[in-house]
Amino acid sequence: MTQRVRMGMVGGGPGAFIGEVHRLAADIAGGIELVSGAFSRDAEASRAFGAELGLSPARACGSWAELFEAERALPEDERMQCVSIVTPNDSHADISCAALAAGFHVICDKPAAGVLEDALRMQQAVTDSGRLFGLTHTYTGYPMVIEARERIAAGELGEIRRVAVSYLQDWLSREEDTQGSKQASWRNDPARAGESGAFADIGSHAFNLVEFMTGRRVARLAAQLRSVIDGRVIDDDGGALFELDNGAAGMISASQVCTGAINALRIEIYGSEASLHWFQEEPNRMSLKRRGEPEQVLRPGAGVPYLSEPALAVCRTPGGHPEGYIEAFANLYQAFAADVRAFPAAPAQPRGYATIEDGVAAMRFIRAARLSSEADSAWTALDGVENAAR
Ligand SMILES: NC(=O)c1ccc[n+]([C@@H]2O[C@H](COP(=O)([O-])OP(=O)(O)OC[C@H]3O[C@@H](n4cnc5c(N)ncnc54)[C@H](O)[C@@H]3O)[C@@H](O)[C@H]2O)c1
């Protein structure tokens, strides 16, 4: 029988958005048991919520510091092995570093941190502790996204020439949207969201998808970030030209004020031989197009004969039975839990989830975009951007 991985959680309390998705995903992944947590900054609310989830009172803690101390005191075969961090961006670094130093593996939501320096601190903590760190860039858990990576790596598209990626939403498109919404209010507060708004919140996903699918690095960019809605103190809309390390060109946009867009993450990758097209709101189809030939539509499904092994490995249902967001999240949890189970053996390659290096890369992208925008869209390199004046 598969040994169950004992997991704790920080954040994801009453009324939170993504914590519940993480718990569902861990359930679907299987072989993971939520044993403890600190779910809110309010100690009483945190304990009460832990009780609602069925945790024993001793393991429903009032704060993350209390959680790590209580778990450390338990025998090794009882204490949590990893902790899921689903708090707002500004607290990811302190909580992750403390968890890693206490010997726990960490799976944390994106962006890695509020500011680049904190992400670099987390990277150091991962190295120093030797523990596992996973970042939940949800979209890399979709079978079609993995299939794209495999086909591009195998050269099916030829030399990559251009990438067009956009992540557009409208849930912050009105002035009143930041009032009375827990999720919206911290996202509009630089002290909690960090150095960017929409570009960090969803632009980081789009950036990660480009690097994941193409297998290339974004080398430099020229960005324009804007606060469109009155009263916004952080970007709610932005775009950038970028260049990949093979010289390919790209355009990225990330906006939360695009009326009519719900969760419109779309990517198109053009090579010398063919192009791939994927739209997150219809995740179970991906188009492959070649000049002068009819469009080919690729779909996921267990046993579908034209899919690569890595894509097949994350298909949960037979062909024609749609899989979606929670399953994609579950694929990240499944891969992370397998690495935790195997620890201290080296993690499986390629990793089935984003790493702290991916998180730092996204934070460099965010910093470069902000600096570029402040310098009237000047081209800005990502490498070493932490050394540029802020
Ligand atoms: N992967 C994705 O697609 C995705 C989607 C949404 C959000 N996120 C990320 O998830 C994180 C949380 O976002 P959200 O929308 O769920 O926020 P949220 O405001 O809905 O929930 C945050 C939760 O954390 C708790 N919390 C805050 N500080 C805490 C502390 N010090 N100790 C314990 N609990 C604490 C809050 O009480 C709340 O329950 C953010 O970093 C966000 O960027 C990722």
Maximum Cα–Cα distance for the chain, whole Å? 66
Measured CA distances, 192 to 93, 189, 197, 282 (Å): 12, 6, 10, 32
CB 265 within 8 A of CB 279: yes
**How wide is the angle at C-alpha 13 spanned by C-alphas 142 and 176, nearest 5°?**
85
**Single pTM value for the model:** 0.97
Q: What is the mean pLDDT of residues 82-100?
A: 98
Q: Give 1's pLDDT tier (boundaries 50, 70, 90).
A: low
Please, are residues 207 and 370 in contact by the beta-carbon 8 Å criterion? Answer: no
- Residue-wise pLDDT for 30-88, tens only, equals 999 999 999 999 999 999 999 999 999 999 999 999 999 999 999 999 999 999 999 99
CA dihedral 305, 311, 314, 316 (to 10 degrees): -30
192 has pLDDT over 90: yes
Ligand 1 in contact with 321 (CB < 6 A)?
A: no
- In tens, the pLDDT along 308-350 reads 999 999 999 999 999 999 999 999 999 999 999 999 999 999 9
What residues contact 108, with CB distance under 8 A and at least 6 apart?
A: 84, 85, 86, 92, 96, 133, 134, 135, 136, 359
Torsion of CA 370, 374, 378, 383, to 10 degrees: -30
The domain ranges of the chain are 5-139+350-355, 143-318+362-370
Q: What is the mean pLDDT of residues 197-201?
A: 98
CATH 3.40.50.720 for domain 5-139+350-355, yes or no, is: yes
**Residue 94 CA to ligand 1 centre (angstroms):** 14
pLDDT value for 204: 98
Peptide bond into 350 cis (omega under 30): yes
What is the rounded CA–CA span in Å between residue 374 and residue 390?
A: 10
Task: Please list, in sequence order, all residues whose beta carbon lies within 8 angstroms of the beta carbon of residue 309, skipping any fewer than 6 positions away.
Answer: none
Distance 138 CA to ligand 1 centre (A): 15
Measured from the CB, is residue 192 less than 6 Å from ligand 1? no
Q: CB of 12 closer than 6 A to ligand 1?
A: yes
Q: 215-224, pLDDT tens digit by residue? A: 999 999 999 9
Q: Measured from the CA of 63, which atom of ligand 1 is nearest?
A: 32
Task: List beta partners, residue 216.
Answer: none
Q: pLDDT tens across 258-303, in order? A: 999 999 999 999 999 999 999 999 999 999 999 999 999 999 999 9
Q: How far is the CA of 263 from the centre of ligand 1 (A)?
A: 18
What is the CATH topology of the domain spanning 143-318+362-370?
A: Dihydrodipicolinate Reductase; domain 2 (3.30.360)
